[in-house]
Amino acid sequence: MIAGIDWGVIILYFIVIFVFAWWITVREQRDRKSADYFLASKNVGWFVIGASLFASNIGAEHIIGLAGSGARGDMPAAQFEILASLVLIVLGWLFVPFYLKSGVFTMPEFLERRYSAGARTYLSIVSILAYVLTKISLTIFAGALVFEVLGIPFWTGALIVVIATGIYTVLGGLKAVLYTDMVQLFILLGGMFLVTFFGLQSIGGWDGMVQAVHVTAETQEKGGAAFFNLWRPSSDTAYPWTGMMFGAPILGIWYWCTDQFIVQRVLSARDVSNGRRGALFAGYLKQLPLFIFVIPGVLAFGLAGSGLLTLDLVNPDKALPIMINDLLPAGIKGLVLAGLLAALMSSLSSAFNSCSTLFTIDFYKKYKPSASERELVWMGQLVTIVLVIISLAYIPLMRVMTESGGIITYMQSVQAYISPPIAAAFLLGLFFHRINARGALWALWTGFILGVIRLLLEFQVNNGTIPYGEYWIIDLFVGINFLHFALYLFIICGLILFIASRTAPAPTVEKLKGVTYSKSVENFFEVNRRDILLTIGLIVIVLFIWFAFSPVILA
All residue ranges of the chain with pLDDT < 50 are 30-32, 34-41, 174, 522-523, 554-555
d(CA 492, CA 447): 8
Q: Is there a contact between 206 and 199 (Cβ–Cβ < 8 Å)?
A: no
* CB neighbour burial string for 122-142, b if at least 16 within 10 angstroms, e if fewer: bbbebbbebbbbbbbbbbbbb
**CA angle centred on 265, ends 532 and 524, rounded to 5°:** 45
CATH of domain 4-24+37-415: 1.20.1730.10
Which residue blocks in 225-316 are alpha helix, DSSP H? 241-242, 248-252, 260-267, 272-285, 289, 295-305
pLDDT in tens, 103-143: 777 788 888 899 998 998 898 888 887 777 777 777 777 77
Three-state SS string across 489-536, please?
HHHHHHHHHHHHHCCCCCCCHHHHCCCCCCCCCCCCCCCCHHHHHHHH
Q: Residue 25 has what pLDDT?
A: 58
Q: Residue 167 has what pLDDT?
A: 66
Q: Is there a contact between 319 and 296 (Cβ–Cβ < 8 Å)?
A: yes
Q: Is there a contact between 390 and 121 (Cβ–Cβ < 8 Å)?
A: no
**What is the reported pTM?**
0.84
Q: Residue 130 has what pLDDT?
A: 79
d(CA 485, CA 498): 20
Three-class SS state of 269? strand
Please name the residues in contact with 358: beta carbons below 8 A apart, sequence gap of 6 or more.
Answer: 106, 108, 124, 127, 128, 260
pLDDT in tens, 281-308: 999 999 999 998 999 999 999 998 888 8
Q: Residue 528 has what pLDDT?
A: 80
Domain ranges in the chain are 4-24+37-415
Q: What is the largest CA-CA distance in the chain?
A: 69
Q: Residue 132 has what pLDDT?
A: 77
Q: Residue 37 has what pLDDT?
A: 46
CB 406: neighbour CB atoms within 10 A?
17
d(CA 176, CA 435): 39
Instruction: Give the distance from CA 484 to its chain's centroid.
Output: 20
Nearest of 58, 537, 42 to residue 341 by alpha carbon: 58
The length of the chain is 555
Q: Residue 168 has what pLDDT?
A: 57
